[in-house]
Amino acid sequence: MIYSLNGTIILTEPNLVVIECAGVGYKCHTTMNTLSRLPKLGEKALLYTHMVVREDAVELCGFADRSELNCFRLLTSVSGVGAKVAIAILSELSPEKLALAVSTSDSKTLTKASGVGNKLAQRIVLELKDKIKKMSPAASQIEVSPVSAVSTFAYDNTSKAIEALAVLGYSPDEVTPFMKSIDPELSVEAIISATLKAIGKK
């Protein structure tokens, strides 16, 4: 299996990029979010990849970071969600926004993506929330003692951020050390974003 591609960009189209590595051009289906982060044609780029094997085709999907790759894999594990739909969702929503939507049962946000109706959006939320629970009970693993309205609010936001990060494939044990230096009174999305940046610098 191809884990990543590191080469020269020779073609970009909507939801598509071709990267040349050692003289071979690899066509990768990708998200608009990843495309917006890629350098110009002729420059070097790194993509994390996932190989999609179907009866009629074998295709590569590429992503700018592991968070988006993890989201893609989780989305395609949901019944009725193929690579095309997963890419459409991740073109509309960043990993942080997707994680927050799932953890807060906001299925309406998912319907912004092309090809995602109300029923499918609700199924995605239900199945991914179930997967999160099986991974680990996020909120219960934080050692915080809320003693006031402010600290309770901070505790709730941190708990929600940890649960949301589980959507991206991170366990509570992995993320809590990075959260110690993050202001717990930030918004849930800000905590998620700061945590991912801290993990990326490690």
Domains in the chain: boundaries: 4-63, 67-135, 138-201
Q: What is the chain's mean pLDDT, rounded?
A: 86
Find all residues with CB under 8 Å of 63, minimum gap 6, and list them.
30, 31, 34, 47, 48, 49, 50, 69, 72, 90
96, 193 Cβ separation under 8 angstroms: yes
- Amino acid 103: pLDDT: 81
pLDDT tens digits along 168-184? 778 888 888 998 888 88
CA distance 139 to 164: 10
Helical segments of 26-94, H only? 32-37, 66-76, 83-92
What is the spatial distance between Cα 156 and Cα 151, in angstroms, rounded to a whole number?
A: 8
| pLDDT over 60 at 105, yes or no | yes
CA distance 142 to 33: 32
For the segment 23-46, the average pLDDT, to the nearest whole number, is: 96
**Ranges 36-45, 66-75, 101-110, 190-199, most confident:** 36-45
CA atoms of 35 and 199, how far apart (whole Å):
22
Q: Where are the beta strands (DSSP E) in 2-143?
A: 4-13, 16-21, 24-29, 44-53, 58-63
- Highest mean pLDDT: which range of 9-18, 129-138, 185-194: 9-18
17-28: per-residue pLDDT in tens? 999 999 999 999
Percent of the chain with pLDDT over 70: 87
CATH 1.10.150.20 fits 67-135, yes or no: yes
Average pLDDT over residues 31-47: 96
Lowest mean pLDDT among 19-33, 70-84, 188-202: 188-202
- Residue 71's CB is within 10 A of a number of other CB atoms, namely 27
Q: Provide the pLDDT confidence category of residue 62 given band limits of 50, 70 and 90.
A: very high
Which pLDDT does position 153 carry in this prediction? 44
With 90 as the cut, is the pLDDT of residue 29 above it? yes
Q: Kindly report, residue by residue over 120-169, the tens digit of the pLDDT.
A: 999 999 998 877 666 544 433 434 334 333 444 455 788 888 888 887 77
> pLDDT at residue 1 above 80?
no
Cα angle 106, 117, 188; round to 5: 20
Of the segments 52-61, 86-95, 178-187, which one has the largest average pLDDT value? 86-95
CATH number of 4-63: 2.40.50.140
